[in-house]
């Protein structure tokens, strides 16, 4: 029996096979999935903001790229994953609203979330093997513990697996 694990906004979860971990409604948020292909440990973080350093209320570590990814790695290692085998797939980071002017960098949350996630993963030496980021549309994603595939569902842009 495959466990279906739902991850809310500013939340993260990890589990061992058999499971599917899913999150709905990634707009400017970024879904970061990690997978250990040997132990079949999967994890997903639904990240809202790039950095806990720029927030007054930063008590929810799952909300920020700089803290959520580190926590997800630690949780997965506790479940038996080997950090050196982890691979990442990321999705989301859309620009959900268009701005008439040259758009202040602060308002480009999606792009900043993607950039922050990539920086953290790079600093942890976790390779990004695939991504589906940017655009102007939302995504629902699910990572499958069987093989680490990431299913991405969109409205108007179909469904794909990476």
Catalytic residue numbers, as ranges: 29
Pseudo-torsion of CA 74, 78, 80, 85, nearest 10°? Answer: 10
């Amino acid at each position: 029996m495959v466990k279906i694990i739902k991850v809310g906004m500013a939340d993260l979860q990890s589990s061992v096979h058999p499971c599917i971990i899913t999150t709905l409604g990634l707009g400017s948020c970024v879904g970061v999935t990690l997978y250990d292909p040997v132990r079949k440990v999967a994890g997903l973080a639904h990240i809202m903001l790039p950095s806990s350093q720029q927030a007054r209320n930063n008590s929810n570590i799952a909300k920020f790229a700089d803290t959520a990814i580190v926590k997800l790695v630690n949780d997965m290692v506790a479940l038996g994953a080997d950090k050196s085998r982890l691979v990442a797939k990321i999705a989301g980071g859309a620009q959900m609203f268009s701005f008439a002017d040259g758009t202040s960098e602060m308002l480009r949350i999606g792009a900043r979330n993607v950039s922050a996630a990539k920086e953290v993963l790079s600093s942890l030496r976790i390779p990004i093997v695939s991504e589906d980021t940017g655009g102007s549309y939302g995504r629902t994603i699910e990572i499958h513990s069987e093989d680490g595939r990431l299913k991405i569902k969109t409205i108007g842009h179909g469904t794909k697996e990476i």
